[in-house]
Chains A and B, each alone.
Chain A
Amino acid sequence: MIAILGLLIGVIAGILWDVNIPEKFSPYISVAILACLDSVFGAIRANLSNNFQADIFISGFFGNAALAAGLAYLGDKLGIPIYIAAVIVFGGRIFNNFAIIRRLLIEKAKSR
């Protein structure tokens, strides 16, 4: 509930607040978003299986985002598309997490 509320506030802030992040950071933000999404899915999963810990979620959220953006930057400098590694890993994990979330939800619905 509180998460959705936060998300809404963020979306509204994004629409209304005309902040200027230089456009060259745009690809890094994209990768960072993917990492954050992965963290969020991980959090939902943990929440459903009742072992959610806020500190782990938050450190993962920022850590993953920073690492993904950093890797993308490093790849840019080295001329290797390292960001693909981040995309594949996080993408795969998002699907993984989603599969587990699905199972947990269905099991919960069945046991009711």
Chain B
Amino acid sequence: MKKIFSQLTLAIVCALLGFMLTYQFQLLRKEKSTNVINPNDSTYNQLTVELEQLKKTKEELEKSNSRLMEQIKVYEESIASPGDSSKEIKNQLDKTRLLLGETDVEGKGITLTITPKEGLFDAEGVFRYSPISHFELAYILNELKYADAEAISVNDIRITNQTGIRLSDGGKRILIDNDQVYPYSLITIKAIGNPDKLESAIMFPNTLNLEGLIGYNIEVVKSDSIKIPRTNKVFKSDYIKPVEK
């Protein structure tokens, strides 16, 4: 009796060991197969593209930094020479910066949220509606601009007069210059301007009647204090030159 019992427990213990061994083997094999970097993988590609973009941006920023330092030196020299003209120039410069989007700004305006609707995906994980694209985004921004928005941001990315918007990665991302907006997550657009005018421009019947917006809830909230951060864009003036008279 005792022998049978001990043999039985032995068998059970060995079974346990065998189970643990195979389980662990399978787990490690699974991990190995998922850990291999596939050059065709979309995240891999995405990261490479992002890296390249960041490198480019860094270079540009370094260049613009040195240029700005030189400018500051020039300004300092001009301030050293007394006179009202320098003060006037400074004011002009500040205003220009404000309009260009190089300063954080605050003021009355609206916040527009574009939220994907519940049940957006069917059982197979496929998007039921056509997702928002650069068309819809640029269209909304244009409407806001037409309603005299003085500063606009999308997910706190400042829209400047040199900002471009386009689709990337087959619709998985919308690029706003080097920043990204994802069509399947919340998009917040902030605009500073006359809140009533901005709201009526967006909420005017049929304004938002676009195919890419069917799958989204759009909400407009007016506010007395909208904060919009400055742009991190490097403005380019390689080709434009004033016309000489």
Which residue numbers of A lie inside 8 Å of B, CB to CB?
A: 2-11, 13-15, 17, 19, 21, 23, 26, 29-30, 32-33, 36-37, 40, 43, 54-55, 57-58, 61
Contact = CB atoms under 8 A, between A and B. Distances in A.
A3 B27 contact: no
6 contacts: A5-B11, A9-B18, A10-B20, A13-B19, A36-B17, A54-B9
Main secondary structure of the interface of A (DSSP, over half): helix
B12 interface: yes
Contacts of B66: none
A23 B16 contact: no
Contacts of B22: 10-11, 13-15
Contacts of A10: 14-22
Contact of A21 (B14, B18, B23, B31): B23
A32 B18 contact: no
Contact of B21 (A6, A9, A11): A11
B11 A3 contact: yes
A11 B10 contact: no
A31 to B, nearest CB: 11
Given A54-B6, A57-B10, A58-B13, A6 B18 contact: yes
Name the residue in B12, B18, B26 with the highest tally of chain A Cβ atoms < 10 Å from its Cβ. Answer: B18
Contacts of B9: 54, 58
A82 B16 CA distance: 25
Contacts of A13: 15, 18-19, 22
What size tier do the contact residues of chain B reach? Answer: 20 to 34
B18 A8 contact: yes
Interface in B1-46: 5-28, 31
A29 B24 contact: yes
Contacts of A32: 20
Given A2-B11, A7-B15, A13-B15, A26 B20 contact: no
B142 to A, nearest CB: 48
B13 A61 contact: yes
Nearest to B22: A14
Contacts of B15: 6-7, 9-10, 13
A4 B14 CA distance: 7
A57 to B, nearest CB: 7
B20 A33 contact: yes
Contacts of B16: 10, 36
Nearest to B30: A23
Contacts of B21: 10-11, 14, 33
B18 A11 contact: yes
A93 B11 CA distance: 23
Contacts of A19: 23
B30 to A, nearest CB: 9
Given A7-B15, A54-B6, 17 more contacts: A5-B11, A6-B12, A9-B11, A9-B15, A10-B18, A10-B21, A11-B22, A14-B23, A14-B25, A15-B22, A29-B20, A29-B24, A30-B24, A32-B20, A36-B17, A54-B9, A58-B10
Nearest to B27: A26
